[in-house]
Structure 1
């Protein structure tokens, strides 16, 4: 990855200006965070491949939101059923 782009992503994330996709699945109950992206359109361009990869694992349902937030680890959160 371009070092300058890496710095820009880190700066945007630190300021809460980075774009992230919050992807929730049921069966298994997991939240996945995909990002950070400096521009929403770049996230929108990369998201279909990420969603296709998750769909290949055959969750019972999958939904996503695009958010501008500050985000850190963990990027995968397992949720308790129910």
Structure 2
């Protein structure tokens, strides 16, 4: 990873141009935000390992989507939080 990628990701996120993975689980009911990424292709190449890590926690169901948006904390939102 080049030294400029982190500031580039931050800049893209600030403009609402960054790509994020929104991953939702049921049992427990949690939404995870994975990112930011500058390109959809880079998100899609990294997302499988994130999904695999979540699957190891044995949720009842996992769904995901790729979203282009501006995102900030929190990156993990439990149904109990809202």
Residue equivalent to 2:4: 4
Residue equivalent to 1:69: 69
Residue equivalent to 2:48: 48
Residue equivalent to 1:78: 78
Q: CA RMSD in A?
A: 0.9
Q: Give deviations 1:22-79, integer Å, cap 9, x for gaps.
A: 0000000000000000010000000000000000000000000100000000000001
Note the C-alpha offset of 1:2. 3.6
Query: Matched residue pairs, number?
Result: 80
Note the C-alpha offset of 1:3. 3.2
1:28-39 → structure 2 map (5 Å cutoff): 28-39=28-39
Task: Extract unaligned runs of 5+ from structure 2.
Answer: none
